[in-house]
Structure 1
Amino acid sequence: MDQGNTAFILIAAALVLLMTPGLAFFYGGLVKAKSVISMMMMSFGAMGLMGVLWVLYGYAIAFPATDAGVTNAPWHIDGADFGLANVLTTPEGAAYPPLAFVAFQATFAIITVALVSGAIADRAKFGAWMIFAGIWATVVYFPVASWVFNFGLAEDGSFSYGGWITHGLQDVFGVGAIDFAGGTAVHINAGAAALALALVLGKRVGFQKGAHVPHNPPFVLLGAGLLWFGWFGFNAGSELAADNTAALAFVNTIAAPAAALLSWLIVEKIKDGKPTSVGAASGAVAGLVAITPACAALTPIWAIVLGLLAGAVCALAIELKFKLGFDDSLDVVGIHLVGGLLGTLYLGIFANTSGLIYSGSFNQLIVQAIAALAVLVYSFVLAFIIGFAIEKTIGFRVKNEDEIAGIDTVVHGEEGYVLSDVRG
């Protein structure tokens, strides 16, 4: 067993777990002061719920063993892995303990679910959110993770790569879709679900451009910083080894978001006259989203180009909600769905060796588009159905008067900022 790579994977898992509290700060700073606890609790609720479900059965759905003969199946449960029963020991000759990989992928499930919550800020019931999160993870995230990653455990303890989106498309087109760290499985997946929930819950009271101002930009910057820090584990850690590929992913995780931060600020300056701190944070996140699927398949120069595109495109995309009339509170669609689509499709042209400019073939672009569209449609449709069912039964949205007053005290009985120890 390689102790160095084992340590690398475990440290990467810890970094990715830190991303969810980082997301809580990022989202929490963007909402109004009387909704900050509600917003942050949806991220922490995802941590609790996904941590349990992943151990109970999530891993069994996402990563069925290769000897089950179903690595390309769109939906399969490996019963031997319920409760992680089949991965508690390390096989002879394994590069690292299977449980290290289990832990790493658990953090992906947590952050993906938490991302969705930003679309329903200021107006969602916590209990309804938790029910949605559990069902959506079970029928959408876990299967989609299998489509994209599906590292099936082989008898020698190694992991073979190949869900239907990767290995299956390769059998047809000669190349599989490239998604190194989750452009489809995480960002397109979460962004599509966010759009569905925004449509189900409807607009916030008084929804219009400029009506909802971030209450704490320093929180937003802190959250973005924690996200960027954790993203090194997200991207470089996906190599599962401390090698040159991980180093390339690491460098690209510096270059792309840095470029995106700059291009977002330039767009803001041209469009609104002033570059903002929230824009800087949002630009960095947009670049991180876009580079996620591509971090190990681009040269650093092409990563910078992708970052420049992501910052500018996402800065413009967040305005779509006002033109199209859907209330994606914290721009999950404009940043994660659009950024994920951009990064995924960009690989079809610029991916090392297989992209159009290197191979002269459109095959890589075709499989990237198939992967993106399949995940987008699957996630949107099921998220809409689940959210609609919850809204029509127990109710997903709080009362308008509670939304106006701020939902922290109504939903959680707490205030984010207590300015006096004396209660009236």
Structure 2
Amino acid sequence: MSIIDFSSVQKYISNLENKGERQKLLSLAESLPYQIINDSPTVKHYTEWSEYDKLNLTIFPSSNKVKKYEIEGYKTIYIQDDNIIGGEISFEPTNNLMKADETKLVSLTLALSKKLKINIEDSSKILIYHNVTEKGYISPANIEINVKEGAIADIIYLAENEIPDSLQSSVISLKIGRDSQVNFTLIAKSTYIYNYSKVYCEGELNATLFATKSKMAHIEYTTILEKDARSVFSAKSIGRDNDKIDMKVNVQHEGLRSVSEGNLKGIATDNALVVVRGDASVNQTAFDSSTSIIGRAYILGKDAKSIVAPMLEVKTGRVLMAKHSASVSRVPDDLIFYLENRGLSRKEAESFLIRGFIEDEKDPEILKKVIEETLAESKIIVSV
């Protein structure tokens, strides 16, 4: 089996602009692996790529009515099936921060997608809502965001899909100019999803990544920090039933005095596998930089599995701080006992602790809502 039906893909590409370049990208996708694998925790084989290969996806022009999703104060841009509604479209099969040969699904996504271009020059709040309506369909998204110097931006990418055997495959690049302030939120709650995001940051970035409800999800996010740039990130997943979620978050310090602070969190229940991993690297040119990456996970149920793997790579002796830690445990019995002694049932105590663990005060309201719904649907929490 193959991830795509090549005959339908060839037919689809023949009706797009830049057909020659797209054919080359498609051939490249056939030759590339899903990932380069070795024994390091940050590049180890955690995604079960065979789950994607079973899909044998197709693509064709879709004309289904757009499913509306709005957040007060945000401009919504829709990506549904193969359509982009409400944003600037380019037909160049390129992305300014991506190399076509990075992975199989990067080149495949570039080959099949129209490009959404977003330029932010002052202050903007944008929701990109990515939805699939067709069964057995690959919905590609190539997104290029440029935040100009001194701008303020709040950007949410929400991928939602409960259609059986369909895949959302997205490539996102984000360039942040000097003195800019950006909040970037990525929420994935899709049956099958692949996301590959890369950020080039000269300003300040607060990034929040969340994944849940996936038979197979691979979320890969990289930030490149230049001189005096700052990044705070939180990557978290909730797996329930038979979910398989693999989230990889990397930070590369390239410039002087760059700062990063990251948290990795996972909750696994039932038969789920949740992996949240990342690598903070300080390169030779990043003198006087600081970084920390902390990973924690909770397991509920004897068959659930969770892995957190924060890593450090420091290539210069001139750093202000570099630290990392990781822990995986069941919900602490001593804390449950403490709450039970104050009148809560065991289930109520677990609910209280889990909600406090996975939610952060700075999470956007849409993410808090998604987390509450996920925990409630999974019967992980009860009213306290």
TM-score using structure 1 length = 0.26
More strand per residue: 1 or 2? 2
Higher relative contact order (CA 8 A, sep 6+): 1
Q: Which structure dedicates a bigger proportion of its chain to helix?
A: 1
